[in-house]
């Protein structure tokens, strides 16, 4: 009977192993290509001994291989359950830690600086500072407001129905003050502001919160 749920072993073979079906079956699993083809199509259950080889080869859990979990490892699934982080976010944080260790060891052995690392868009010299910086951001009293205002900023920029053209405004408390009168309208006894101006106002708050977090980080690491 064909498995109704698509298993990830085909995508793993193509994207991770980068081998043809026949090559992977013969060289990695040491089984007949026709048998392995049936595994990929879900036409035949994967034996436990083959599952173990696949899990070790790809460094994933057997539950992931069987389609019972969306997370490649038990550790990642646990972190997701505790913190709600996506697997992509978890793996990126893991790479940050791994890259830092590699860079520190490399710089201790020689004066050469690694010029390219996967998913790295900042100067590698500064990479060892990332983990303390992440901790500082999360530990800061500003972190909750930072995340909340980031969501508000995105919604103000890309949310539906908040712009000058359709005359719809977000309602704000009377004591909110802004620099440009053209950005306001009075609605229902309150003050309204258009989406673009609201985004600019929120961005100013984000900038201020980042300044506070930066000061806390510098003070802590003096």
Residues 170 and 61: their CA atoms lie apart, in Å, by 48
32: in domain: yes
What mean pLDDT is predicted for residues 131-149?
85
71/108 same-domain check: no
Residue holding tokens 């646990």? 78
C-alpha pair distances (Å), 31 with each of 27, 49, 53, 173, 180: 8, 12, 12, 70, 73
SS3 157: helix
pLDDT for the residue 30: 95
48 close to 17: Cβ distance less than 8 angstroms: no
pTM above 0.95, yes or no: no
**Residue 141: pLDDT band by 50, 70, 90 thresholds?**
confident
> Which comes out higher in pLDDT, residue 5 or 51?
51
Residue 44 belongs to a domain with what CATH number? 1.10.260
4: in domain: no
7 close to 42: Cβ distance less than 8 angstroms: yes
38: in domain: yes
| Count of the separate structural domains present in the chain | 3
**Domain carrying residue 152:** 143-220
Kindly tell me if the per-residue pLDDT of 135 is higher than 50.
yes
Residues 134 and 217: their CA atoms lie apart, in Å, by 10
Summarize pLDDT for 168-216 with one digit per residue, the tens: 444 444 444 444 444 545 445 554 555 566 677 778 888 888 888 888 8
**Residue 221: pLDDT band by 50, 70, 90 thresholds?**
confident
138: in domain: no
At 186, phi and psi to the nearest 5?
Answer: -95, 120
- Domain boundary residue, one of 34, 53, 75: 75
End-to-end CA distance of the chain: 64
Summarize pLDDT for 56-98 with one digit per residue, the tens: 999 999 999 998 898 999 899 999 999 998 998 888 888 776 6
169 close to 185: Cβ distance less than 8 angstroms: yes
Which residues touch 219 (CB under 8 Å, ≥6 apart)? none
Summarize pLDDT for 29-55 with one digit per residue, the tens: 999 999 999 999 989 999 999 999 999
């Amino acid at each position: 009977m064909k498995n109704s749920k698509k298993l990830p072993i085909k995508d793993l073979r193509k994207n991770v192993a980068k081998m043809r079906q026949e090559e992977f079956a013969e060289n990695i699993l040491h089984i007949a290509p026709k048998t392995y083809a049936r595994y990929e199509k879900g036409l035949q259950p994967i034996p436990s001994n083959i599952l173990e080889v696949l899990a070790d080869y790809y460094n994933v859990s057997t539950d992931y291989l069987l389609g019972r979990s969306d997370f490649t490892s038990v550790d990642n699934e646990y972190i997701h359950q505790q913190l709600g982080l996506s697997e992509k976010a978890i793996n990126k944080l893991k790479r940050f830690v791994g890259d830092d260790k590699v860079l520190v060891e490399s710089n201790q052995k020689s004066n050469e600086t690694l010029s390219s690392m996967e998913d790295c868009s900042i100067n590698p010299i500064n990479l060892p500072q990332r983990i303390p910086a992440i901790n500082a951001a999360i530990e800061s009293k500003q972190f909750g407001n930072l995340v909340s205002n980031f969501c508000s900023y995105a919604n103000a920029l890309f949310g539906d129905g908040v712009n000058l053209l359709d005359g719809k405004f977000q309602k704000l408390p009377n004591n909110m003050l802004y620099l440009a009168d053209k950005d306001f309208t009075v609605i229902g006894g309150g003050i309204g502001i258009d989406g673009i101006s609201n985004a600019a106002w929120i961005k100013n708050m984000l900038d201020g919160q980042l300044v506070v977090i930066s000061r806390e980080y510098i003070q802590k690491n003096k």
